[in-house]
């Protein structure tokens, strides 16, 4: 069944949602039109596992990304995180992403650890405040109604290279993310915990 956006369909509801602000949920494939400093597209899933296996030969036998990440966390966490923070730091991205700047976005939920949205908002002439809600406390607190309207809450569900610390990549981390009860937990904002 296709949605009907005609006058008698959902057009008004859709326009109202756009005016009031929408939530974006961006999965792994969202950032494929972004490149790192070497001009390489950001990898997802099997491509990321392959790159990790080339960088860390000890995980060559692993067939699943979460298991491989768990092994790296146990054996070479520092090098693993350095790899992630270098590989997922966005340098350039397709101009197609700039269309998002014309949408009234209230919240961004992403499973990506890259900093694509930060780069995108940094290129904008529009005054917007991207607030990383995974941090304890906030790097910015809007003081006016106008500033509050320009605030976009950013929830990196697996972590973000702009706030390097613990990423949620390994099988154990993914499973335990739901049981964390702290109010800054990005998963809690989804109403999942």
Backbone angles phi, psi at 130, to 5 degrees: -90, 115
Contact 61, 137 (CB under 8 A): no
Contact 123, 41 (CB under 8 A): no
DSSP state, 182? Answer: -
**Helices 65-75 and 77-87: crossing angle, nearest 10°?**
130
Model confidence at 12, pLDDT cuts 50, 70, 90, reads: confident
Q: 5-9, 114-118, 132-136, 162-166 — which one is most confidently predicted on average?
A: 114-118
pLDDT tens sequence across 120-172: 999 888 767 788 877 654 454 544 554 445 789 999 988 899 887 778 766 56
CA distance 28 to 109: 11
Mean pLDDT value across residues 100-128: 89
pLDDT tens sequence across 66-86: 899 999 999 999 999 999 999
What are 146's two structure tokens?
């106008």
CA distance 17 to 38: 39
CA distance 193 to 185: 9
- Nearest CA among 166, 138, 168, 167 for reference residue 152: 138
Whether pLDDT at 96 is above 80: yes
């Amino acid at each position: 069944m296709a949605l009907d956006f005609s006058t008698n369909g959902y057009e008004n509801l859709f326009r109202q949602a756009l005016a009031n602000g929408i939530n974006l949920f961006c999965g792994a494939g969202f950032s494929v039109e972004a490149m790192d400093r070497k001009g390489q597209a950001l990898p997802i899933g099997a491509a990321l596992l392959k790159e990790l296996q080339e960088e860390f030969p000890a995980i060559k036998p692993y067939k699943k990304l979460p298991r491989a990440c768990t092994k790296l966390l146990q054996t070479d966490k520092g090098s693993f995180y350095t790899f992630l923070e270098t590989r997922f730091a966005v340098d350039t991205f397709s101009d197609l992403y700039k269309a998002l700047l014309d949408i009234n976005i209230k919240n961004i939920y992403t499973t990506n650890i890259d900093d694509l949205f930060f780069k995108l908002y940094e290129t904008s002439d529009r005054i917007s405040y991207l607030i990383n809600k995974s941090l304890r406390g906030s790097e910015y607190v809007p003081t006016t109604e106008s500033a509050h309207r320009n605030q976009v809450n950013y929830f990196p569900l697996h972590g973000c290279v702009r706030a390097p610390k613990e990423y949620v990549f390994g099988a154990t981390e993914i499973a335990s993310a739901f049981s964390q009860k702290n109010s800054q937990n990005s998963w809690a904002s989804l109403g999942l915990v």
